[in-house]
Chain A
């Protein structure tokens, strides 16, 4: 019994080190086995797409929730990663596995440049700047037909030579977990605190000795690089790329997922993506009404519960632990005390 407790603590401590809670890890494990249990291609594909949108929303959250800049051009970075990788594969015959990394680097480079561009801008000006860059990029992609095939679409080689969705699902799951861990570790460290300080009040942050330039550029670069990485996955998963990938409506989708999930929480984005994306898929028969409901959801969340799903969960958790119903935390502490006293014996 005590040994079991010890193992549990070891695992919990390890998870904490990589920025995960036991509940979060359990969720990922459950996610990993779901397709095996369902054995259904449609569901596997849907889950893979949901995870991809969730990962995109996480990289959106990393700028919006922390340094308080809505990267309104995120879809363009997503598309840039995809296009870079696809063009390398189609024109130069480079393996998509390398292409994805190069795509992420290209998106990171552009993110770095945009970071420099938006440095002197605040709030909505910075958002619009990223948006303009994205629109310009989309216009170039549409019109540079020799390179991108324009709006007729560029067909890309598949990443894995299989008709099954399962390998793709596991790939995006690993990517999502990786991105989650990276973002959690960064935001939990002193860097995350600096981000929050900049987001709340840049002048006060600068006065307390935070190098705003460095942190802002780092944030933009990392967020765009991750978006580019996911874009590479998308390009070689779906098999065809059109300039519509870069359309603002994709940014809005990531943004809505992020805000419904709760800004500044990172994990809220995954949960809301896993709910919203399948929900939208199942309401496809409702045509336009589905998007009207989507807009209404966005408005209702903003009006009545801006903290989103993660805020809801936290309130719930606080409520339970205040009532003493959730003795687990207390139990954990006790077990921990026993464990350390045993080892000292």
Chain B
């Protein structure tokens, strides 16, 4: 592998990693705060992509406005799902909560996937580009959309990080993820925080789906790939560790591009999974495991 090829790999890997990080942050946040292993995360990504598609092509909104519509829509859907299902479940079950939520998210995923198929058909709905043109770096051309998508991902992650660390509400979310009872004692409204967290996580997924619309067209099953990848990231760095999932996103992105280049198409999943499994054998709670991260058996 010569240097220019290596540069290509690194660029592609980092651009991909941005998307994975964006997805993984939301997944990790929901697990850390609410203890829900969300297997419907990819469906919110799909929902965001569809919303962006319709607002861009049918309602002729600008790129930025379409993305904002998608984010807002995914947020609202997330809030509805949380209030309607997870809130009800939390009130009803105490002990087997995690197992039940796990099944619940699977049910949501099946419903959303097939609901999308019912409403919009199994066709691919894509656009050529939000921002046409491409950027020339070294020997390779990168589509503007890819670069802008990456920048949006980075910007979103930075804003999200500031929100979690610098605002009262963000600190309340982190407090709940550390200790539910303790945070209730200091007067945090748990129900409200849970709803907000789930909504935000869905909004992040929707953002990822919307900003990459020209690269991956909207279709009912488009969420599966990003869902797998965000799970790889979360397990690799340790569940519920929001900060580290950003690095994890880039690690998985690079790993994948590298094995794609080295071993050919199709093998990248097998190779990167083998490496992740090997890492987990030696560090079962993840690469950057925090002490006291909730596990399902607690």
Contacts and interface: CB of A to CB of B under 8 A. Distances in A.
Contacts of A122: 295-297
A122 B35 CA distance: 14
Contact of A291 (B99, B114, B231, B267): B114
A292 B280 contact: no
B160 interface: no
- A135, A139, A295: most-surrounded residue (chain B CB, <10 A): A295
Contacts of A255: 103, 106
A131 B99 CA distance: 16
A340 to B, nearest CB: 43
A14 interface: no
A143 B297 contact: no
A70 interface: yes
A296 interface: yes
A68 interface: yes
Given A128-B231, A302-B89, A123 B106 contact: no
Contacts of A259: 103
Given A143-B266, A294-B110, A302-B103, A124 B273 contact: no
B132 interface: no
Interface in B79-99: 85, 88-89, 92-93, 96, 98-99
Nearest to B89: A303
A124 B234 CA distance: 11
For chain A, give the interface size range: 35 or more
A81 B95 CA distance: 36
A306 B94 CA distance: 12
B196 interface: no
A143 B104 CA distance: 33
Contacts of A117: 277, 280-281
B99 A292 contact: no
A193 B238 CA distance: 31
Nearest to B232: A132
Nearest to A117: B281
Contact of A129 (B113, B117, B228, B280): B280
Interface residues of B, number: 44
- B111, B269, B297: most-surrounded residue (chain A CB, <10 A): B297
Given A135-B228, A306-B93, A292 B110 contact: yes
Contact of A124 (B89, B266, B295): B295
A202 interface: yes
Nearest to A64: B99
A263 B96 CA distance: 11
B235 interface: yes
B14 interface: no
A343 B22 CA distance: 76
Contact of A120 (B117, B274, B284): B284
B85 A299 contact: yes
B98 A132 contact: no
Given A291-B114, A298-B110, A132 B270 contact: no
Interface in B26-50: 37
B110 A295 contact: yes
Contacts of A201: 297
A57 B113 CA distance: 23
A125 B284 CA distance: 8
A185 interface: no
A133 interface: yes
B182 interface: no
Nearest to B110: A295
Interface in B148-207: none
A152 B102 CA distance: 33
Interface string B252-265: 00000000000000
Contact of B107 (A143, A295, A306): A295
A121 B284 CA distance: 6
A123 B297 contact: yes
Interface in B270-298: 270, 273-274, 276-277, 280-281, 284-285, 295-297
A295 B113 CA distance: 10
A263 B115 CA distance: 28
B269 A291 contact: no
Interface string A298-313: 1101111010000000
B267 A143 contact: yes
22 contacts: A68-B99, A122-B297, A127-B102, A128-B235, A133-B277, A136-B273, A139-B267, A143-B270, A201-B297, A252-B106, A256-B106, A287-B118, A288-B114, A289-B118, A292-B114, A295-B111, A296-B111, A298-B104, A298-B106, A298-B107, A299-B103, A302-B107
Given A129-B235, A143-B267, A292-B111, 10 more contacts: A123-B296, A125-B295, A127-B102, A132-B276, A139-B273, A140-B270, A288-B118, A297-B107, A298-B104, A306-B93
Interface of B: 37, 85, 88-89, 92-93, 96, 98-100, 102-104, 106-111, 113-115, 117-118, 228, 231-232, 235, 239, 266-267, 269-270, 273-274, 276-277, 280-281, 284-285, 295-297
